[in-house]
Amino acid sequence: MKRLADCRLYGILDLGYVRPEAACDIVRQMIEGGIDILQLRAKNLAIDQIERIGLQIEPLTSAAGVPLIINDHPEIVPVIGAQGAHVGQDDRPVADARWRAGRALAGEVPPPLIGKSTHSMEQAVAAASEGADYIGFGPLYATPTKPGRPAIGLGDVQRVNELVRIPIFCIGGINLETLPSVLAAGAKCVVVVSAILQAADITAYCRALKSKIQNLKS
């Protein structure tokens, strides 16, 4: 399984864009394209439906060594065999999410990863202090994935990387066109949602994103 510290391209299987029956096929394409970590996000589905889809895609992510993160529902992490959960600013605290996502026998497997969404410098610093393993930072640009949430821009990207010592995944309106500006602003890790899921060729799109990120690193 990839270490969180080695993950640069974070993909989200957002079932607001993808039909549940297409989930496995989309995940295969994202993995083939080189995503490093995958989140299952299903805001409008019942928890039993999310669990069922999670169980379908977990063998794919596990075989590829791609950590699987469950949005909003840490309690189903051990049932699915996922590697962790992601919570928002208005969701349960990190410690509670970690407890709910924990395995039955301590020490058998690595502890669950818990990520938290942040929308300002203050929230980013607070999430790190709270014990989050990583944060999402954004939205940098306006995005249809989060309608109504104002963009925070690129001005704090470098500063948040200086102040927060856990992985920071910049998110919000990132695509092949905006990615160079995001990387130039200081981002090291990014989340891409709608641009991947709506691409005509998902695998090729992911590869193109990954190439830009790796070129920056080199």
Please give the full DSSP string across 117-152, using - where no structure is assigned: EE-SHHHHHHHHHHT-SEEEE--SS--TTSTTPPP-
In contact, 103 and 89? CB cutoff 8 Å: no
Which tens digit of pLDDT belongs to each residue from 126-162?
A: 999 999 999 999 999 987 777 777 889 999 999 999 9
Which tens digit of pLDDT belongs to each residue from 65-116?
A: 999 999 999 999 999 999 999 999 988 899 999 999 986 445 556 789 999 9
Predicted pLDDT of residue 107: 53
Task: Give the model's confidence band at 63: pLDDT under 50 very low, under 70 low, under 90 confident, else very high.
Answer: very high
Residue 199's SS3 state is coil
- 15 versus 149: the higher-pLDDT residue is 15
Which tens digit of pLDDT belongs to each residue from 33-50?
A: 999 999 999 999 999 999
pLDDT over 90, % of the chain: 87
- Residue whose structure tokens are 């959960």: 85
Both tokens assigned to 9: 């391209």
Predicted pLDDT of residue 108: 57
The CA angle 138-175-90, to the nearest 5 degrees, is 25
Helix, strand, coil abundance in the chain, percent, nearest 5: 45, 15, 40
Neighbours of 114 (CB within 10 A): 28
In contact, 10 and 48? CB cutoff 8 Å: no
60: left (phi over 0), alpha (psi -120 to 50) or beta: alpha
Residue 135's SS3 state is strand
In contact, 161 and 31? CB cutoff 8 Å: no
- Position 47, amino acid: I
Task: Give the model's confidence band at 173: pLDDT under 50 very low, under 70 low, under 90 confident, else very high.
Answer: very high
**Residues forming beta bridges with residue 189, ordered by sequence position:** 169
Predicted pLDDT of residue 98: 93
- 184 versus 109: the higher-pLDDT residue is 184
Predicted pLDDT of residue 105: 45
Q: Picking from 51-55, 142-146, 195-199, 209-213, which range would have the lowest pLDDT averaged per residue?
A: 142-146
Predicted pLDDT of residue 149: 77
Predicted pLDDT of residue 167: 97
Predicted pLDDT of residue 104: 46
**Residues forming beta bridges with residue 10, ordered by sequence position:** 37, 191
Both tokens assigned to 184: 């130039």
Mean per-residue pLDDT over the chain, rounded = 93
Predicted pLDDT of residue 216: 74
Asked if the model's pLDDT at residue 24 lies above 70, the reply is yes
Strands 168-170 and 189-192: parallel
